[in-house]
DNA sequence: GTCCAGGCATGCA
DNA sequence: TGCATGCATGGA
């Protein structure tokens, strides 16, 4: 990775495997909005960002250098060698063709609270509507960090809401899950940083105790919000994909099943 | 109108 | 342990 500063922008080059459409709009994060010119605007970690791609370079518009290094490098996982990962995954023939076609999907390092909440909302729901509900949630209860752009609300803030407040956002039957989850995280009964520090099996066990969190939501929270790359979330799309792996997952997925999963998820949504 | 979406809790066997 | 069912909402 090479970084240079031009005016208020940060230009990053020599980062492989980062396509904005495939990474920011592939169902792992729900807060990025594509602009007409192909750039993206969104909020993560309380920071607003406008990001674009110019050839092989990434442009972080109006971004503070300190925030870039302290937050965005980790969020986009810019120091991870995705070419090595892709090469390993391509030992599997389906992944080989999928990566050739959709090269550039990365797993973002999202905040655990935002990821867990988002995937509780995601259950039995479609991506378009998940984004709609989350944007309503942020606008109503987040902080305005840029003109018209809101942070994801904290558990403390959401712990003051009642079930009817969550229902008013269109969360449907998930409202009761969100209400209880917010209160439990706010009062410390659930400690996401602690869960993140546990070995995978124990971390998953803790997440599965949460009302409204099952196998799928737990795996998504672990993969997208807690950096457990070996998690392999099985939703309705991935269950269709599994017909292509009757003997189980290939060895080349070991330890990076979650990254393989994200490519297969995208492939399934385009082709199945 | 019906079907479906990055599922889960509940009840019952 | 495994399976059937109900659940809110909005777009196709």
Q: What is the 3-state secondary structure (H, E, C) of A52-98?
A: EEECCEEEEECCCHHHHHHHHHHHCCCCCCHHHHHHHHCCCHHHHHH
Express each pLDDT in A201-214 by its tens digit.
999 999 999 999 99
A20/C2 CA-to-C1' distance in Å: 42
On average, the pLDDT of chain A sits at 98
| A205 in the same domain as A148 | yes
Percent share of chain A, pLDDT over 90 = 100
A165 Cβ contacts chain C strand, under 7 Å: no
Residue A204 located in a structural domain: yes
A239 Cβ contacts chain C strand, under 7 Å: no
Q: Mean of the pLDDT values across residues A252-258?
A: 98
Residue A258 located in a structural domain: no
A211 Cβ contacts chain C strand, under 7 Å: no
pLDDT band for position A227 (cuts 50, 70, 90)? very high
A128 Cβ contacts chain C strand, under 7 Å: yes
SS3 state of residue A139:
helix
Q: For CA atoms A76, A81, A87, A92, give the dihedral sign.
A: negative
Express each pLDDT in A149-199 by its tens digit.
999 999 999 999 999 999 999 999 999 999 999 999 999 999 999 999 999
Overall number of domains in chain A: 2
Nucleotide nearest to A172 (CA to C1'): C8
Positions 38-67 of A with beta carbon below 7 A from strand C are none
Domain that holds residue A63: 2-79
Residue A33 located in a structural domain: yes
| A138 in the same domain as A193 | yes
Residue A191 located in a structural domain: yes
Q: Mean of the pLDDT values across residues A65-86?
A: 98
Q: Mean of the pLDDT values across residues A128-133?
A: 98
Provide the whole-model pTM: 0.97
pLDDT of residue A152: 98
A220/B4 CA-to-C1' distance in Å: 21
In the structure encoding, which two tokens stand for residue A63, read together? 């971004």
CATH of the domain at A32: 3.30.310.260
């Amino acid at each position: 990775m090479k970084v240079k500063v031009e005016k208020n922008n940060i230009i990053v080059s020599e980062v492989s495997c980062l396509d904005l459409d495939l990474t920011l709009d592939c169902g792992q994060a729900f807060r990025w909005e594509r602009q007409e010119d192909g750039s993206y605007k969104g909020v993560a970690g309380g920071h607003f960002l406008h990001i674009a791609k110019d050839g092989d370079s990434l442009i972080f518009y109006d971004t503070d250098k300190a925030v870039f290094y302290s937050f965005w490098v980790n969020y986009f996982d810019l120091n991870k060698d995705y070419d090595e990962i892709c090469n390993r995954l391509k030992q599997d023939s389906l992944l080989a063709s999928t990566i050739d076609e959709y090269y550039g999907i990365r797993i973002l390092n999202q905040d655990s609270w935002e990821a867990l909440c988002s995937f509780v909302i995601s259950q039995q729901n479609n991506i378009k509507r998940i984004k709609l509900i989350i944007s309503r949630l942020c606008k109503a209860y987040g902080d305005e960090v840029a003109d018209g752009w809101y942070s994801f609300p904290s558990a403390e803030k959401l712990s003051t809401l009642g079930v009817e407040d969550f229902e008013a956002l269109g969360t449907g039957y998930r409202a009761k899950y969100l209400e209880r989850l917010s209160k439990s995280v706010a009062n410390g009964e659930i400690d996401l940083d602690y869960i993140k520090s546990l070995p995978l099996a124990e971390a998953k066990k803790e997440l599965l105790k949460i009302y409204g969190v099952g196998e799928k939501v737990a795996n998504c929270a672990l993969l997208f919000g807690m950096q457990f790359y070996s998690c392999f979330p099985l939703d309705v799309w991935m269950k269709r994909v599994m017909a292509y792996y009757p003997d189980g997952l290939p060895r080349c997925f070991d330890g990076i099943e979650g990254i393989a999963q994200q490519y297969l998820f995208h492939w399934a949504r385009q082709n199945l």
